[in-house]
Amino acid sequence: MITFTINGKEVRGQDGWTILEVARWNGIEIPTLCHHGALEPYGACRLCVVEVNDGKRSRVVISCMYPIRPGIQVQTESPRVANVRRWIIQLLLDESPESPKIQELAKTFGVTPSRFKKAGVDFACHLCGLCVRACQEVVGVQVLTFGNRGLRKAITSPFNAASKECLGCGTCTYICPTGAMDQVFQRVKG
Amino acid sequence: MQITSIDDLQKAKGTGLNQLYPDKPKILVGMATCGRAAGAQRVYDLLHKKAQQEHWDGVVEKTGCIGFCYKEPLVDAIFPGKPRITYGEVTPEIAGALWEELAAGRIPEKQIMARLDMDDMVLNGGPRKFFKGKLKGFLAKTPRYEDLDFFKLQRHIAMRNCGFIDPDNLLHYIARGGYFPLYTTLTTMTPEEVINVVTFAGLRGRGGGGFPTGVKWASCRKAQGWPKYVLCNADEGDPGAYMDRSLIEGDPHAILEGMLIGAYAIGSSEGYIYVRAEYPLAVKTLQRAILSAREAGLLGENIFGTGFNFDIKLNLGGGAFVCGESTALMASIEGKPGEPRAKYVHTVDKGLWNRPSNLNNVETWANVPVIIGKGADWYRDIGTEGSKGTKIFSLVGQVKNVGLVEVPMGVSIKDLVMQVGGGVPENREFKAIQIGGPSGGCIPKEHWDLPIDFDSLWDAGAIMGSGGMIVMDNSTCMVDVAKFFLDFLIDESCGKCIPCRLGLKRMREILEEFSAGKGSLADLDEMESLSEAVKDGSLCALGGSAPNPVLTTLRYFREEYEAHILQQKCPAAVCKELITYTINPELCNGCTACVAECPQDAITGDKKKPHSLDTSLCIKCGACFEVCKFGAVAVA
Ligand SMILES: Cc1cc2nc3c(=O)[nH]c(=O)nc-3n(C[C@H](O)[C@H](O)[C@H](O)COP(=O)(O)O)c2cc1C
Ligand code: SF4
Ligand code: SF4
Ligand code: SF4
Ligand code: FES
Ligand code: FES
């Protein structure tokens, strides 16, 4: 057992657990977007950030991947954490102001659209990669991939074409938090 | 030639020295990529052909980059008993004339840049003097390398062989003391001793972060798992930086030897060099070096008969900037997309194929043989308290002497720009220096006494990065500079994590408003808090350091931002939305030159009478400003 603190409260977990797992076990809320208990963590949305002090220095890390270590002090609401979280929600909200999932987050954290708000898309993909991982890890085929990079990054299939491998199982559309997968699914399943 | 014992090595050294400094004249042409870009291949071909046609009793040879890139093509003449003479800006035409003289045994005065009285050799136990007695005539007046402002402060350790040896010739490398440190390592030192020497020498990674190299090696040695990998990062993606390329093209064996020593210390028998495919000459040079080292038995099994095995594979990278990041680089070698991943488990424990892996930069590796050969004390004497040794910089931008320079850590920005760089061009004024590549920082003139070392730069908000330095003069707008670097980083972001992908885009949007005179002082604070969010929240160091150009310009040039926002003025007259072109009737003599240039027909007037410019038509292209010889077009 590894003992450490979250927001000053002593908590315990087993070797190999992440901060997020221990936090949830103890009923401490940390927002997430790209995390799913059944899939390998991917660490892309950064919404689950916490501040960790290991006695030497204090860093902002992602709770969904950071392995717990004895004696660390974790803060889930520190000013640095709140700043990162606020900005991620702000950026997502301005990018896809009609997305229900993002609206919900914005409401919880009191974020409102800014002057940079885009014309609304309700099914905007946030590149959380849940579909890619579910297809690979749960279904066991590799139909979906990330195409391109940077601002042009998008979910696609190899060569952007209908895939022979696709079983049409719909696991990707089921797991997609935004509904963006529906469109890609139509193209991929052929 | 097999080199499996100290006798073999000594013999190779003897042969190599005879080739390096034969009893006959030798002509060297600088043939790294920058030399070739200036026409060195044609110069070499011409000299080589002439020598053959005329059955010249001498040697024409290629060599790497000595750093004088602003004077390329470079040709050197080494006559027995004479100083080595460097000729600059030797175009093919000049090379023809130069040949006539040299072939006749004369050293011409024209195009001479400098002379070298001895070869310091760095590793080979003392300098080798080129001549005895005193020089006469113009030779005596020719400046020595060490008299030139460009070289005075320089000290070539990583670049020790660049510009001296033929990079494809293993014997040349051995002649200047190469592979002796490896021999010493394998036959007299334990791995722990090697690690201790490198740690005590104070070597820090030259790839950007400045992490202590010995400490990294020690963790990798301790890590559980087998095999272990030793990797070399030759991705070098910073625009305008070419230190690593130049080292590879000038002295590839220095890198191989460094990796061999590292592999012994760590306990690894497999190495990879990740080099960008856009560096064809570097790739070829490495291929040839690896082959010749293998043939000699310096790579492969049972090296020097000690039972130590190590071999190196080349891996060609697609050239994405982010592939230089350690985890992305390893993913790329594995054949996966070159994307970073979280590093909460270090790559020294679980790196390439989840095995313990030690990654160092090209320049870091090139320093290693010297540290072993000369000892940690010798090395510690160079540099500052926290940053030992030298660093190679590519000095570009608004300076007279553009080139590669290797200086001891701790040299001030002022000395680097004004002395080594020769200052900014006439009628301009130094404004700032951008250090550390695209995500480095801009340091202003007020701080130009700052010593260049890892910690001072960090405190000033910049980073050492890989060693790119861009000098900026007073015609540069700092808001515009911040936009330029952000554009690069937005283009190169892999897009995996949100703070980097969307945060940088938002920063860019806010900057765009500033350069159009919009926004408010509150937006400056927003910019700072967003910068902090991107730094804290990003997955890898690309996003983690991307706000630096914005943060440092804000820190040192806040009044310039305020001028844009509050007065709708761009003090450097760069931001198009905030400037107007006008014609000063007092100075305009009606030459009509600008009328022909203006794509908008915004300028009208009678010949020989002052013209006028219709600002409502003007698109601010600046063509009239450039063409007016009388300074009658004003921009403000
Ligand atoms: C976006 C990014 C690009 C990088 N590019 C390079 C590179 O081109 N060459 C390099 O040596 N290190 C690069 N680095 C640093 C490497 O991740 C790593 O720290 C370095 O190679 C370690 O070697 P060192 O300890 O010898 O410096 C880059 C880092 C980041 C975040
Ligand atoms: S399609 Fe859906 S599940 Fe896939 S990355 Fe986009 S938002 Fe995530
Ligand atoms: S910080 Fe940028 S480059 Fe690095 S993982 Fe995130 S999106 Fe990719
Ligand atoms: S180029 Fe200069 S001098 Fe000539 S017409 Fe234009 S403004 Fe006048
Ligand atoms: S939930 Fe942790 S990074 Fe997305
Ligand atoms: S290649 Fe010759 S000085 Fe740069």
- Give the integer Cα–Cα distance in Å for A25 and A4: 14
Confidence of residue A159 (pLDDT cuts 50, 70, 90): confident
Per residue in B87-130, pLDDT (tens digit) is: 999 999 999 999 999 999 999 999 999 999 999 999 987 789 99
CATH code of the domain covering residue B144: 3.40.30.10
Q: How many Cα atoms within 13 Å fall on the side-chain side of residue B530?
A: 26
Cβ-defined contact of A65 to B490 (cutoff 8 Å): no
CATH code of the domain covering residue B203: 3.40.50.11540
Nearest Cα to Cα of residue B516 among B568, B594, B470? B568
CATH code of the domain covering residue B502: 1.20.1440.230
B319 lines ligand 1 (CB under 6 A): no
The reported pLDDT for the residue numbered B124 is 85
In a domain, B571, yes or no: no
Bridge-based pairing of strands A73-75 and A49-53 is antiparallel
In a domain, B603, yes or no: yes
Confidence of residue B54 (pLDDT cuts 50, 70, 90): very high
Is residue A29's pLDDT more than 90? Answer: yes
Residues B269, B397 within the same domain: no
Confidence of residue B246 (pLDDT cuts 50, 70, 90): very high
Residues B327, B463 within the same domain: no
Residues B464, B483 within the same domain: no
Average pLDDT, chain A: 93
Residues B283, B146 within the same domain: no
The reported pLDDT for the residue numbered B577 is 92
List, as one string, the DSSP characters of B411-435. -BHHIIIIIIS--SPTT--EEEEEE
Of B473, B495, B515, which residue is a domain's last? B473
B320-324: average pLDDT: 93
B363-381: average pLDDT: 98
Ligand 6 centroid to residue B76 C-alpha, Å:
12
CATH code of the domain covering residue B465: 3.10.20.600
B372-390: average pLDDT: 97
Percent of chain B with pLDDT over 70: 100
In a domain, B161, yes or no: no
Is residue B627's pLDDT more than 70? Answer: yes
The reported pLDDT for the residue numbered A122 is 74
B410-436: average pLDDT: 94
- Give the integer Cα–Cα distance in Å for B364 and B461: 23
**Candidate from A46, A95, A149 with C-beta closest to B537:** A46
Residues B451, B485 within the same domain: no
Of B473, B491, B521, which residue is a domain's last? B473
B560, amino acid identity = E
The reported pLDDT for the residue numbered A96 is 87
- Give the integer Cα–Cα distance in Å for A97 and B71: 56
Structure tokens at B300: 């492969």
Domain count, chain B: 5
Is residue B141's pLDDT more than 90? Answer: yes
Ligand 5 centroid to residue A51 C-alpha, Å:
14
Average pLDDT, chain B: 95
Is residue A143's pLDDT more than 90? Answer: yes
Confidence of residue A11 (pLDDT cuts 50, 70, 90): very high
In a domain, B60, yes or no: yes
Cβ-defined contact of A91 to B498 (cutoff 8 Å): yes
* B503 to chain A: closest CA residue: A91
Per residue in A47-99, pLDDT (tens digit) is: 999 999 999 999 999 999 999 999 999 999 999 999 999 999 999 999 988 88
In a domain, B595, yes or no: yes
Residues in chain A: 190
- Angle of CA points A54, A55, A58, to nearest 5°: 60
A134 lines ligand 2 (CB under 6 A): no
B496, amino acid identity = K
Structure tokens at B332: 């790329």
Residues B415, B303 within the same domain: no
**Candidate from B341, B493, B534 with C-beta closest to A43:** B341
The reported pLDDT for the residue numbered A120 is 66
In a domain, B165, yes or no: no
Identify the weakest region by mean pLDDT among B27-36, B219-228, B236-245, B520-529: B236-245
Per residue in B270-319, pLDDT (tens digit) is: 999 999 999 999 999 999 999 999 999 999 999 999 999 999 999 999 87
Residues B512, B427 within the same domain: no
Residues B499, B552 within the same domain: yes
Identify the weakest region by mean pLDDT among A117-131, B148-162, B526-540, B548-562: A117-131
Strands (E) located in chain A: 2-6, 9-13, 49-53, 58-62, 73-75, 145-147, 154-156
Q: What range does the domain containing B605 cover? A: 580-635
In a domain, B1, yes or no: no
B195-222: average pLDDT: 97
Of B427, B457, B473, which residue is a domain's last? B473
- Give the integer Cα–Cα distance in Å for B405 and B422: 12
Inform me whether the C-beta atom of residue A174 falls under 8 Å from chain B C-beta atoms.
Answer: no
Inform me whether the C-beta atom of residue A166 falls under 8 Å from chain B C-beta atoms.
Answer: no
Adjacent-strand bridge partners of B129: B118
CA of B530 vs chain A CAs: smallest distance (Å) = 7
Residues B524, B627 within the same domain: no
- Give the integer Cα–Cα distance in Å for B369 and B3: 18
Nearest Cα to Cα of residue B616 among B574, B571, B589, B582? B582
Q: Show which residues on chain B lie within 8 Å of chain A, measured between beta carbons.
A: 320, 322, 337, 341-342, 344-345, 490-499, 501-503, 505-506, 509, 529-530, 532-534, 536-539
List, as one string, the DSSP characters of A65-115. TPBP-TT-EEESS-HHHHHHHHHHHHHHHHH-TT-HHHHHHHHHHT----T
Q: φ and ψ at B251, to 5 degrees?
A: -160, 65
Give all domains of chain A, ordered by start, each with its CATH number: 2-77 (3.10.20.740), 83-123 (no CATH), 130-189 (3.30.70.20)
- Give the integer Cα–Cα distance in Å for B442 and B217: 33
- Give the integer Cα–Cα distance in Å for B334 and B337: 9
- Give the integer Cα–Cα distance in Å for B127 and A111: 69
Nearest Cα to Cα of residue B437 among B541, B513, B529? B541
In a domain, B591, yes or no: yes
Residues B32, B70 within the same domain: yes
Residues B507, B590 within the same domain: no
Residues B292, B410 within the same domain: no
